[in-house]
Amino acid sequence: MFALVIDDGVLDWRERPDPVPGPGDVVVEVAAAGLNAADLLQRRGRYPAPPGVPADVPGLELAGRVVSVGDGVDATWVGRRVAALTGGGAQATHCAVPVEHLLAVPEGVELVEAAGFPEAFCTAHDALVTQGALTSGERLAVTGAAGGVGCAAVQIGRALDATVVALTRDGRHHEALRALGADETVVADGLAAIEPVDVVLELVGAATLPAVLPRVRAHGRILVVGVGSGSRVELDLLAVMGSRLTLTGSTLRGRTRTEKAEVVGRVARDLGPRWRDGALRVPVAEVVDVREAARAYDAFARPGKFGKIVLAVAPR
Amino acid sequence: MFALVIDDGVLDWRERPDPVPGPGDVVVEVAAAGLNAADLLQRRGRYPAPPGVPADVPGLELAGRVVSVGDGVDATWVGRRVAALTGGGAQATHCAVPVEHLLAVPEGVELVEAAGFPEAFCTAHDALVTQGALTSGERLAVTGAAGGVGCAAVQIGRALDATVVALTRDGRHHEALRALGADETVVADGLAAIEPVDVVLELVGAATLPAVLPRVRAHGRILVVGVGSGSRVELDLLAVMGSRLTLTGSTLRGRTRTEKAEVVGRVARDLGPRWRDGALRVPVAEVVDVREAARAYDAFARPGKFGKIVLAVAPR
């Protein structure tokens, strides 16, 4: 197979040994792989791969077709169109994945769009539903709403009948966010003026958390899953105490195989039907050939995109 | 009745109208009232009383005898020895309290000790059990362990079969903390060297939280209920994300009548039998006549005490 290898910070498309599916795994022939902030961190040596995944091949999600199965996996998986959450190694022509980390790609959804589904929707669902217990009628603020996780969160918030306040750096994606289900859209400068919210999905970090904190209602939950603007924030604990707030941080990547299977299983159960109905979308900002990955990584780092950047690995 | 009135920062023992019990309330003739950090904040104008309690009479807990009951309250309460969680107003000869905020004082426990039970044990139990879900076998760190809430938390941690690490400013109370059930005792300087913990009860604030944070294991819970050393801390959100930590702040005072009743009810259920058996104690650092309250408030502000400072209101 070929894989995108990080070699001292340089991205190189080179041959690697073909993966062999272990017990309970499948091998996917990758059509496309979504790009995530973690890939950029990994390229800079700041986000080491967990044990059991290749240390130098990035990629936390993919879509493609199953080409072989390991012991204990039903052979009828072969040939099926799947998307998968991976611990790394997705930016390659082939990737071994535990079968319980697969999502069936609905008919009519292109693999290039499906490749941007797993990480964004699993991250947003785990944070909002499993950790944040967001419920109907509550107000949700999503900072960095124009990114992949942000667009997923807006749609999940809408699906839960929450009122969704989408925050972006500037106003240019507000119409698109309203089309995804945002009830209110604000720019960073307007954050201090929003009506109080119950839940915050923090996808930006230091640039937004201090401003949004005073807008969180009593019993509010702040779910931190992205810190692209910086991770060091000053927190006033008296304010946190007075409003009885909970701040939870998390990542998906470091979780165990079983934990990831639980996340994927909840997404399949709660969001699968909506994905099949066409009610959930993955806005794709740009599709870049994996052989030009450096350009995609640079584009990811620039502000202003809407939705996911996806690497095309194989002809579709 | 007489009450301790805060008049422009000065504590004055003066006459006030007798309280009348509303529906569901009792009036307690106060024998003693525990002193808390909130009283000192209130004296400095930094912790306004919630609606429905006297704005200028401090005191969040008391012990005494019921002398009258309001509509709907069983008259057999009259004469019983009780401790109570109050929203304020406890530092007086009489105080009206919802009957569901009462705890029966066990035979053999003096009212001056019982007066230090409600706030400390309700705060620690609510944080550790209800919010923190501390379980058997987990490691608990208590910062500021020598204070009232700290001593309660050490005993609750022990009762839950957690391993309790008690942190104090210096070593002088370590023997006493081990007698209460602490498995390990450390001074602030030694915090960076403790074995990782699952749960932190943060009772000190800015002086300890940054040092204890890196010692919290994956899935750890940090429960912030005291910030005497300062409330502004710098937090590295990447560390919080990487270890999937949850930081929760809370206070008891601002809660609704129903919420407080739930807290008191859980304490009565979980801790009442142990209190009756003599397995839970309220270490009393000093008993001060309420007419000399200013001396008690000053003593509270000084470091080095062990356990509660209690105001004696009536002859026992």
pLDDT of residue A159: 96
ipTM above 0.85, yes or no: yes
Average pLDDT on B86-92 reads 96
pLDDT of residue B176: 97
What confidence tier does B170 reach under pLDDT thresholds 50, 70, 90? Answer: confident
For all residues of chain B together, what is the average pLDDT? 95
Give tens-digit pLDDT for B241-258.
Answer: 999 999 999 999 889 999
Distance from CA of A278 to the nearest CA of B (A): 32
Per CB-CB distance under 8 Å, the chain B contacts of A224 are 237, 240-241
Average pLDDT on B27-51 reads 91
Distance from CA of B212 to the nearest CA of A (A): 15
Distance from CA of A240 to the nearest CA of B (A): 5
pLDDT of residue B136: 97
Q: CA nearest B238 in A: which residue?
A: A231
Do the Cβ atoms of A210 and A189 come closer than 8 Å? no
Per CB-CB distance under 8 Å, the chain B contacts of A209 are 237
Do the Cβ atoms of B54 and B18 come closer than 8 Å? no
Q: Which helix (H) or strand (E) holds A178?
A: helix A174-180
Rounded to the nearest 10 degrees, what angle do helices B148-159 and B118-125 cross at?
50
What is the number of CB-based contacts under 8 A between chain A and chain B? 97
pLDDT of residue B240: 95
pLDDT of residue A191: 87
pLDDT of residue B315: 60
pLDDT of residue A315: 61
pLDDT along chain A (316 residues), means of 10: 96 96 97 95 85 90 98 97 96 98 97 98 98 97 96 98 95 95 93 94 95 95 94 94 96 91 98 97 97 96 93 82
Task: Enumerate chain A positions whose Cβ falls within 8 A of a Cβ in B.
Answer: 202, 205-206, 209, 218, 224-225, 227, 231-251, 254
Model confidence at B316: pLDDT above 60: no
Write the residue in B227, B236, B254 that is nearest to A231 by C-beta: B236
- Residues in a beta bridge with A199: A140, A221
Q: Which domains does chain A have, with CATH numbers?
A: 2-117+255-312 (3.90.180.10), 120-249 (3.40.50.720)
pLDDT of residue A260: 96
Rounded to an integer, what is the distance from CA B76 to the centroid of its chain? 28
Cα within 13 Å of Cα(A252), Cβ side: 30
Average pLDDT on B56-67 reads 97
Contact A232 B232 (CB under 8 A): no
pLDDT of residue A170: 86
Give tens-digit pLDDT for B99-141.
Answer: 999 999 999 999 999 999 999 999 999 999 999 999 999 999 9
Per CB-CB distance under 8 Å, the chain B contacts of A237 are 202, 205-206, 209, 224, 227, 231-233, 249
Q: Which of A42, A224, A235, A260 to mutate to test the interface with B (most CBs of B within 10 A)?
A: A235
Give tens-digit pLDDT for B276-308.
Answer: 999 999 999 999 999 999 999 999 999 889 999
The secondary structure of chain B, three-state, reads CEEEEEECCEEEEEECCCCCCCCCEEEEEEEEEECCHHHHHHHCCCCCCCCCCCCCCCCCEEEEEEEEECCCCCHHHCCCEEEEECCCCCCECEEEEEHHHEEECCCCCCHHHHCCCHHHHHHHHHHHHHHCCCCCCCEEEEECCCCHHHHHHHHHHHHCCCEEEEEECCHHHHHHHHHHCCCEEEEHHHHHHCCCEEEEEECCCCCCHHHHHHHEEEEEEEEECCCCCCCEEEEEHHHHHHCCCEEEECCCCCCCHHHHHHHHHHHHHHHHHHHHCCCCCCCEEEEEEHHHHHHHHHHHHCCCCCCEEEEECCCC
Do the Cβ atoms of A32 and A63 come closer than 8 Å? yes
